[in-house]
Amino acid sequence: MRSLKVTGGILAFSLILAFFANPVQAFSVDTLTIDIQPDGDALITFHYSLSRLEHTAVYLNIVDPGKELKKALESKYHLNVTVNDVSPTSTQLLMSNFASTTHVNNTTIMSTPEISFQGAQELLNKYWFASLVQVDYSPETTIITYPDGFEIAYYDQIDIPKTKHELSADTVKE
């Protein structure tokens, strides 16, 4: 038991030392992919880069990016979010009813809401450690893919505008 406490103390001390030895930590979103399903649900995958300390925090389950992303998305969009997978470099979520669907004659129009990461930065600024971390919430690449394979790409944008795409009648099954 004593050995476990000592090991835990050494680990905590090492993390604190690593934190202060390298005071500016970097988190950046590399890619964001949003695959719209025929029913309007979206499979959302964040690929991100973490510093060594952040990577360790995720690995030791001190920080759970899936839980934090789920909470943020549910709060902002008021939709159900399921965490499918979390790793130290990515998180995959399923968001229900992300895209709205409108039927006009023989076509289906699917629309996605605006996505903004500015609120994440504002939320981070409220914490005491905000000056110690360097965060880039703008995905280097954002790709929205509709059920028929049509893609819309954005590069290094913190705000992703609403999108709209017209599908043929046989693409979306109800």
Residue 39 reports pLDDT greater than 90 = yes
Per-residue model confidence (pLDDT) at position 15 = 44
Residue 49 reports pLDDT greater than 70 = yes
Examine residue 89 and state whether it is found in any structural domain, yes or no: yes
Per-residue model confidence (pLDDT) at position 112 = 95
Per-residue model confidence (pLDDT) at position 28 = 74
Instruction: Residue 90: name the closest of 31, 146, 136, 26 by CA.
Output: 31
Residue ranges in the chain assigned as alpha helix (H): 2-21, 52-59, 65-77, 118-124
Residue 24 reports pLDDT greater than 60 = no
Sign of CA dihedral 86, 23, 28, 124: positive
Examine residue 13 and state whether it is found in any structural domain, yes or no: no
- State how far the Cα of 31 lies from the Cα of 142, in Å rounded to an integer: 6
Percent of the chain with pLDDT over 70: 60
Per-residue model confidence (pLDDT) at position 127 = 59
Reported in sequence order, the residue ranges of 117-158 that DSSP labels E, i.e. its strands, are 133-136, 141-145, 151-155
Residue 133 reports pLDDT greater than 80 = no
Mean pLDDT of 68-72: 73
Per-residue model confidence (pLDDT) at position 19 = 46
Examine residue 174 and state whether it is found in any structural domain, yes or no: no
Domain residues for the domain of 112 are: 25-168
Residue with tokens 């390298």: 22
Examine residue 16 and state whether it is found in any structural domain, yes or no: no
Residue 130 reports pLDDT greater than 90 = no
Instruction: Domain count for the chain, please give it.
Output: 1
Q: How confident is the model at residue 7 (pLDDT cuts 50, 70, 90)?
A: very low
Q: What is the pTM of this model?
A: 0.72
Question: To 10 degrees, the CA torsion angle through 41, 47, 50, 52?
Answer: 110
Sign of CA dihedral 114, 78, 66, 112: negative
Residue 68 reports pLDDT greater than 80 = no
Examine residue 52 and state whether it is found in any structural domain, yes or no: yes
Examine residue 12 and state whether it is found in any structural domain, yes or no: no
Contact (CB, 8 A) for 33 and 145: yes
Instruction: Residue 55: name the closest of 15, 21, 20, 84 by CA.
Output: 15
Residue with tokens 């979306």: 172
Sign of CA dihedral 89, 95, 99, 105: positive
Examine residue 14 and state whether it is found in any structural domain, yes or no: no
